[in-house]
Copies of this chain bind each other. A is one copy, B any other.
Amino acid sequence: MNHSLSIEDEIDGDTLHEECGVFGILGHPDAATLTALGLHALQHRGQEAAGIVSFDGQRFHSERQMGLVGDHYTDPATLARLPGDRSIGHVRYSTTGETILRNVQPLFAELEVGGIAIAHNGNFTNGLTMRRQLIADGAICQSTSDTEVVLHLIARSKHPSSSDRFIDAIRQMEGGYSMLAMTRTKLIAARDPIGIRPLVMGELDGKPIFCSETCALDIIGAKYIRDVENGEVVICEIQSDGSITIDARKPDVSQPERLCLFEYVYFARPDSVVGGRNVYVARKNMGINLAKEAPIEADVVVPVPDGGTPAAIGYAQASGIPFELGIIRNHYVGRTFIEPTQQIRAFGVKLKHSANRAIIEGKRVVLVDDSIVRGTTSVKIVQMIRDAGAREVHIRVASPMIFHPDFYGIDTPDADKLLANQYSSLKAMCDFIGADSLEFLSIDGLYRAVGGVSRDNAQPQFTDHYFTGDYPTRLLDRESTSNVRKLSVLASNG
C-alpha cells in the first residue's frame, strides 16, 4: 500500500484513504507560499484537491483547485492572487468520487463579525444529524461537506467574538477532527476531545504555524513547538502593534488522548513525528516485532513498496534475512490511468509494481506489507512474485487484521468487503491470497512498536477500532438510521 495516485487501488478499492491535511500560518509575509509548501509536504494526506485562503488586512482571498498542490500553487500568478500575511490551506482526498470544487476546503463565510475560513481533517459522527437540524431551521447548505455544518454553527452562535463562536460551534460536534480557522485577526487550531487526528504547532521567524504533521514544518525550516493537545483550542491573534498573542484553552474535563493507530501504520509520512514518536521508527519496530512474532526461514525480505518498506527493513534486520528490492515501483502514473479502459485494467498491479526477477527467481520470499484491507491487491502481487519464479511466498503484515469501518476521517470499504470478514480463518485468507504463509502483527505487537508497551485494555493508549471494534466515541449519525444520502440531492457541475 502507499499514498500516491494508485492504479490497482482505484480499481479494486483495496486501500484506505485519509481525507485531509491542514496548514496555517499567522503574521508571516510569505504566508501563502509557506502554506503551499506545507501542503505539498502533506500531499500524501490528500491528492485530489487543495485550497488556500489568505487575508491581506482588507479582503480574504481564496483559491481552490482540483489536483496536486504542485499543479497550481507554485505558479507565481496563483500565489499573487493570495496576498497577505496569514493563510490556511487544506489538501483533501475525496470519499465519493464526486469531488467538486465547492466541496474543496477551506470553506469561507461572511459573518456579522467579519469573514471566517475553516479547514478540517477528520470526520464528525453527528454531522448529518446536525445538518438536518440546521436545514430544518432555515440554513442553506451549499456543499455536501460536514465542515460546512461548523460554519453554520459559528454563524448562528450568539457569542460576540469569533473565537468564542468557533468554540461554541465545535463543542457541539462529535467525532475526530483537527481544525483550523482564520478570521481577520486570528488563527485558531483545535483538536477533538480525545485527539484522534494529529495536529502540531510550530514556529517560523517567531510566527505561529499549525499543521497536520511535522514534515510540513521541516520543509520550510520551521521549528516544532508541541502537539496541540486533545480537546485544546489554541487562539493566536495579531494585535494592533503587530505582536501575536497565543491563548490556549483546555477543556474543563480532560480525557486521555487516543491517537489513531493508522497514522503510524500507514497515513503519516515516515519522517513525521506524531504524538512524539517518529513514524519510520514505529514502522521499523512493527517489522521487528513481526519478525519475532512470525519468523520464517527464507532467502530474501521484499517490501511491497512504498508502504511496506520500513517494516521490511525492520523485519530483515531482526531476522537476519537480506533486504532486497524485489518489487520495483513505477511512479509515473498519469491522469488517464485513474479511469483506465477495461483492457488496461486487466494489467492491474503491473501498471505500478513490477517483480524484479533476478532477486525473486528460485528464492523463498518474505513479502512485507503495511496492512491488508480487501486483499485483492495482495492476490495479484503474490501471483506476480510467483510468476517471477519465487520458490515460496510468505506474507507478513505489519498491522492486525481489519474488521471494522472507521468514522473519523478514514475512508474504509464496506465491512463485508474486508478480507478479515470474508474468511473465518487465517488459513482460508492465506489460501485466497495464494501465499505459502500469512501472518499479521498482533495488537500488542503494534502497541509496543508505537508506544513501547502493550495495550492497556482498560484504557487503551490509542484508538484501534478498525482492529478491535472499540469505538472511542458514540456514533450518533449511525445510530439514527437512513440518514445517509437523504440530503445529497443535487448533482452539480460548477
Question: Which A residues are closer than 8 A to B by beta carbons?
Answer: 4, 30, 33, 36-37, 40-41, 43-44, 47, 51, 58-65, 67-76, 78-79, 81, 101-102, 104, 108-112, 114-115, 135-136, 138-142, 148, 151-152, 155-157, 215, 218-221, 269-271, 273, 278, 280-281, 309-310, 313, 317, 322-325, 328, 330-337, 340-341, 343-344, 347, 350-351, 354-359, 487, 489-494
Contacts and interface: CB of A to CB of B under 8 A. Distances in A.
A158 to B, nearest CB: 9
A357 B325 contact: no
Given A62-B492, A273-B358, A334 B70 contact: yes
B111 A494 contact: no
Contacts of A347: 37, 219-220
Contacts of A220: 347, 350
23 contacts: A4-B332, A33-B341, A60-B489, A69-B332, A70-B333, A74-B334, A74-B336, A74-B341, A78-B336, A102-B102, A109-B141, A110-B135, A110-B140, A110-B489, A112-B135, A112-B136, A138-B155, A215-B354, A218-B357, A270-B328, A280-B358, A280-B359, A281-B359
Given A333-B70, A493-B62, A494-B51, A33 B344 contact: yes
A41 B351 CA distance: 8
Closest 3 CB pairs between A and B?
A70-B334, A278-B358, A138-B156
Given A324-B313, A336-B74, A43 B343 contact: no
A73 B336 contact: yes
Contact of A271 (B62, B101, B281, B355): B355
A331 B4 contact: yes
Contacts of A344: 33, 36-37, 74
A65 B494 contact: yes
Contacts of A4: 331-332
A322 to B, nearest CB: 6
A201 B31 CA distance: 54
Given A41-B330, A220-B350, A310-B325, 19 more contacts: A4-B331, A33-B343, A41-B354, A51-B494, A59-B490, A60-B489, A68-B332, A70-B337, A72-B334, A73-B336, A101-B101, A101-B494, A109-B140, A110-B489, A138-B157, A139-B140, A140-B140, A278-B358, A280-B358
Contacts of A63: 492-494
Contact of A351 (B37, B72, B330): B37
A313 B317 CA distance: 12
Contacts of A142: 102, 140, 142
A65 to B, nearest CB: 6
Nearest to A115: B489
A68 B491 contact: no
A299 B271 CA distance: 18
Given A43-B332, A351-B40, A491 B59 contact: yes
A140 B115 contact: no
A68 to B, nearest CB: 4
A362 B227 CA distance: 24
B135 A354 contact: no
A111 B281 CA distance: 51
Contacts of A70: 332-337
B340 A74 contact: yes
Contact of A108 (B101, B108, B138, B490): B490
B334 A69 contact: yes
A325 B341 contact: no
Contacts of A309: 325
A462 to B, nearest CB: 19
Given A4-B331, A218-B355, A336-B73, A491 B81 contact: yes
A476 B353 CA distance: 43
